[in-house]
């Protein structure tokens, strides 16, 4: 077996691993970040009336991307 053939065979073996590493790591369920603005509670409002969905994700990569970007809670009060 020549060196070129052996190198090509080794590269072919490594390819599925490289492809698998680039695949997103799916979570079992979708998750969401929510913001509950209690600065102006309405009299008699039901729980959750002030909840606003901020972000939904279903992969580990999306979670960490959003975590790195993380919302400033001062900005959320305008939602």
- In which domain, by residue range, is 61 found? 3-76
pLDDT at 14: 52
pLDDT at 3: 53
**79 residues of the chain, pLDDT tens digit each:** 445 544 455 555 554 556 556 889 999 999 999 988 777 667 777 777 888 898 999 999 999 988 888 755 555 555 5
Report how far residue 65's alpha carbon sits from residue 69's, in angstroms, rounded to the nearest whole number. 6
Residue in 3, 79, 1 with CA at minimum distance from that of residue 34: 79
What residues does 31 pair with on adjacent strands? 57
- Domain count for the chain: 1
pLDDT at 21: 67
């Amino acid at each position: 077996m020549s060196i070129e053939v052996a190198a090509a065979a080794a590269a072919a073996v490594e390819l599925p691993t490289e492809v698998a590493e680039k695949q997103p790591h799916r979570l079992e369920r979708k998750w969401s970040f929510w913001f509950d603005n209690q600065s102006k509670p309405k009299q008699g409002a039901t729980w959750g009336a002030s909840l606003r969905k901020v972000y939904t994700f279903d992969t580990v990569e999306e979670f960490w991307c959003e975590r790195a970007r993380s919302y400033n809670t001062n900005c959320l009060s305008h939602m």
